[in-house]
Amino acid sequence: MTELVTVAVDGPIMTLSMNRPDKKNALTNAMYGVLADGLQRAQDDPAIRCIIIRSEGDSFTAGNDLSDFASISVGSGPTVRHVTRFLHGLATADKPIVAAVHGLAVGVGTTMLLHCDVVCVTEQARLVTPFVNLALVPEAASSLLLQARIGYARAFSMVALGEHVDGKTAVEWGLARYLAAPEALRAKALAIAHTLAEKPIGALRATKRLMRDSALIAQTMDRESEVFAERLKSPEAAEAFRAFAEKRAPNFVQFS
């Protein structure tokens, strides 16, 4: 069976690759589990000095699998949600993380980038966080980190209006660091990962811990998760997921 997330270690670099291209790399609970395990292994293994996150197919990821969300909304979701472990793993990782982003990066596809240290994008990348369009709220500490990075006005437009941000704009706004041609994206990410892997890892880890307030991030994630879980079970969200499955626009004005 095809692995939906591959984990490859080559020398000091671990590469986590989302590999569900027929579904635009939408992330299922099991996929989050593999990503979370990979992050934990990288954290624990002294031989691993840098992590790359990338994807196969034409999209980075279409975000959380919406049929998983639909199951949770009717109370039949998984008992263990690995997304929490994945997000906390990202927030507490003190080894550097490099992301290579092409195509669509929806929802968590964009919010996970706020936890990566070097983000490379193609011009054709599209970062989008349509939480309100799905009757949901920001997650992965993005209610804090997104506006800290790009300001409230832009962050609100992304989260509430679902505005797309292209690769060039992402670099201008500081959501990404490097713009690369599609054929050069992976090589760029790999070169940066090798450069980081040669740095003194003790200093690098201490620097990350100083520059990222992981306690505040974890606290924000937990607060968001509570509201997110409530919203997932709302009639508004049920309508959003039904509309996606039925390939139609949602009708939210029926709710007051």
Helix (H, G, I), strand (E, B) or coil at 176: coil
**108 versus 196: smaller Cβ distance to ligand COA:** 108
**203 versus 249: smaller Cβ distance to ligand COA:** 249
Q: How many residues does the chain have?
A: 256
For residue 140, the minimal CB distance to ligand COA (Å) is: 10
Q: Is 103 in the site for ligand COA (CB under 6 A)?
A: no
Residue whose tokens read 């201008």: 172
**27 pairs with which residues across the strands?**
64
Contact 59, 104 (CB under 8 A): yes
Tell me the number of residues near ligand COA by CB under 6 A: 14
**195 versus 251: smaller Cβ distance to ligand COA:** 251
Q: Is 126 in the site for ligand COA (CB under 6 A)?
A: no
How far apart are the C-alpha atoms of 233 and 209, rounded to whole Å?
A: 35
Site for ligand COA in 147-176 (CB under 6 A): none
For residue 192, the minimal CB distance to ligand COA (Å) is: 27
Residue whose tokens read 């949602």: 250
**134 versus 150: smaller Cβ distance to ligand COA:** 134
Site for ligand COA in 51-80 (CB under 6 A): 62-67
Which of residues 17, 24, 175, 204 is near ligand COA by CB under 6 A? 24
For residue 56, the minimal CB distance to ligand COA (Å) is: 14
Q: What does 104-158 look like in DSSP terms, one character per residue?
A: EEETHHHHGGGG-SEEEE-TT-EEE--TGGGT----TTHHHHHHHHH-HHHHHHH
How far apart are the C-alpha atoms of 188 and 133, rounded to whole Å?
A: 34
Q: How far is CA 78 from the centre of its chain?
A: 20
Q: Is 130 in the site for ligand COA (CB under 6 A)?
A: yes
Which of residues 23, 81, 186, 199 is near ligand COA by CB under 6 A? 23
**29 versus 64: smaller Cβ distance to ligand COA:** 64
How far apart are the C-alpha atoms of 156 and 85, rounded to whole Å?
A: 26
- Angle of the 235-245 helix axis to the 66-73 helix axis, nearest 10: 140
Q: What angle do CA 165, 147, 134 make, to 5 degrees?
A: 60
**64 versus 169: smaller Cβ distance to ligand COA:** 64
For residue 210, the minimal CB distance to ligand COA (Å) is: 31
Binding site for ligand COA (CB under 6 A): 23-24, 26, 62-67, 104, 106-107, 130, 134
